[in-house]
Structure 1
Amino acid sequence: MSSNHSKRLWMYAQMVKSRYFEDLIKPAYFEGKTPVFNMAKGPLPGEMHLSDGQEPCAVGVCAHLRPDDTITATHRPHHIAIAKGVDLNAMAAEIFGKKDGLAGGRGGHMHLFDPAVNFSCSGIIAQGMGPAVGAAMAAKMRGSDAIAVAFLGEGAANQGAFHESLNLASVWKAPVVFIIEDNSYGISVPKSACTAVANNTVRAAGYAMPGHHVSGNDPDAVYAIAGIAIERARSGSGPSLIEIETSRLEGHFMGDPEGYRPKDEVKRLKERDPIPAYRARLVAEGFEEAELDRAESEARGKVDQAFAFARSNDYPEPKEAFDHVFA
């Protein structure tokens, strides 16, 4: 089996794993929230942001990364965390608020943190960009060829932290790659209504770095372009900006009525779901149905195990809420 074959099979498996992980989150999230939706109820209280449809962005980038490379992600992080290799049992337990979660149940799904693979995310828009530049510079100062990757949404490209981080990364030639996941909406506001440029990669020129645009929500295309940017960072040539055209198959958050979407938009997007489309491509290019079935089965088995672990895990003691708090 060639390395390219193995890599693409891995990418497909991670996409399936992420989608199935969120397929199990959906019914769990609505437990206790019916017949009248109350965000505070059930085993998963609070907002829940799903990444269905955005899986190609994560796998195409993370297929190039090592455990010592750093990722900072967004409030919609599951696909990226899974592709980076975050501990799945601890991740599920964290989302359920359990004691053996990544942060002992304190952070929830928007604040996943796994130092074993240098992954973190935040619910604050564009918040991870500065820390990614810092992590990249720390690797550079240590003499390591490790890099950092900052994932952000297209709406975050209008934040001050975006421009500050790109400028400083370019000045310092930091080994960092900025990945914009353009799913067309900042919450409920379409990109065309809030962003002065149609393609954020043109902004890269203002900070003397390459800008790449990837259309089609295509994992192979993401992999090809990410490889160029990541090699540039590893070689000491500095940062790059990539904007990936992707799709958000769910609302901004679970329970979002999505009244801002044009009629039939979600239906059209689901007809272009990237997972069955990628499977069809792999089969057409010689992958065996049986090996894809095995990859799917193994991915789903790991997710089932993670959810069983999370469900059976104990909640932390109430007094533990005061641990790790600055007095």
Structure 2
Amino acid sequence: MPRLHQTSRELVASEDEAGERIDRWLAAKIPELSRSRIQALIKAGAVTSGGGTIGEAGWRVKPGRSYSITVPEAEEPTPRGEEIALDVVFEDGDLIVIDKPAGLVVHPAPGHETGTLVNALIRHCGDSLSGIGGVRRPGIVHRLDKDTSGLLVVAKNDAAHKSLSEQFADHGRDGRLHRAYLALCWGVPDRPSGVVDAPLGRSQANRKKMAVVSETLGRFARTHYHVEKVFADVDGHDFVSLMRLELETGRTHQIRVHLAHIRHPVLGDPVYGTGFKASARRLGEGAREALHHLRRQALHAAELGFEHPVSGQEMAFESELPADMAHLIAALEAPET
């Protein structure tokens, strides 16, 4: 294995900086490194002063004293890269925006060790990945479920990862981040626009599922919805809605659980919409066939906006509905003969 190259930085604390925690001080001095990355380097013995190693992140800096930090080159990733076709919407040296197809898992996990978006990005990005947390890997700052399609941004380096993570953690409250989804849902809400405000946590009955739970057991979650279009059943009654959804939080399965909670689950949802399987009988033959061939939840991440982590430029992207959802909508609109 080739020897890894490393870089060193020498910094001197001023009078005004005396007494600051060294991890916080270094993070302010070296913005391209996250504080957690610096803490890991301190733990690894990479920070020294006066010939001695500083092993505690809470060490207080002293005025006029010189501190050295050694940052090793990013290690090769595990998992390994794989040749998987990607729909790249935008890419530069700091990030990449992907239009993810349904069926593609974002990150390796038990049962999905290979064939993931991360495997594909490691191969696609190659040397442009300068490392996240010291490992040459893409920085996943948000995820889409395996069978949800649409836009996803991924960081290529620590600085981009730090900025994008902060934007997603804030969920757009500071105006930098914007996300919107389109979903086909059973039924029509009483109001054309509204808010689902219900805490989410692990289901007590099935730990693999999420559920609306009490505030003491769950985490705050809020979803805004607007009905874009309504489709009728074979008898002419309003029966399916095309909804536009925006998240104020980003909990696991949030949209799917919240829509099921208000009795308007996503069409095709195999986890949270199973109680509505019989509803397909009220669709026309073409719509029933299109729903059968969908074989996933009809949910698509259609809009993504954020502040570029380096340039500060406002970035905005839109993704058209994938063919399977577009075909289902066309079938829902088609008159039955």
- The normalised TM-score by structure 2 is 0.23
Whose strand proportion is higher, 1 or 2? 2
Quick check: which has more Rg, 1 or 2? 2
Of structures 1 and 2, the one with the larger relative CO (CA 8 A, separation 6+) is 1
Q: What TM-score comes out, normalization by structure 1 length? A: 0.23
